[in-house]
Amino acid sequence: MKSNAQDKTPDRQKIAVYLTEEERADLDRWYNTAGCQSRTEFITEAMRFYIDYLKAGDANVILPIAVGSAIDGKLGSFERQMAALLFKQSVELDMLTRIIAENNDWKQAEIEDLRRACERDVSRTHGTNSIHCCWYEALYK
């Protein structure tokens, strides 16, 4: 196994750990699968997990912590993807509204009046798209 530079940082101390041949084989088999770069990282992560388990005093508490951690990771990724998507959508919407306004020779005051009316409509419907929006009712009554 290659030595990892992270394992030799000044705040770490080397200790001896005695393992059976089977335990060492398990360690070598599983540390890469767990996403660890070294045996030290795997042992450290396993130790932290077990210490959290002992601190909790109950096996039923540690599972929700692990599940919560996994969910937090997925939500963070989802949040970044949604932010990027909303940014792209906002740029496209801004381009569209500028094209429409310029082609129809709308004045800034008219656009601001329209914006206030749209904000009222969206607030009234709590942001949901409904066939009962006031603009639809006004057009088809």
pLDDT tens per residue across span 16-70: 989 999 999 999 998 888 888 889 988 988 898 888 777 777 655 656 667 777 7
Whole-model pTM: value is: 0.39
Nearest to 46 by CA among 60, 74, 27, 18: 27
CB-facing half-sphere around the CA of 110: CA atoms within 13 A: 8
Domain boundary assignment for the chain: 1-57, 58-105, 108-141
- Could you count the other beta carbons within 10 Å of the beta carbon of residue 16? 4
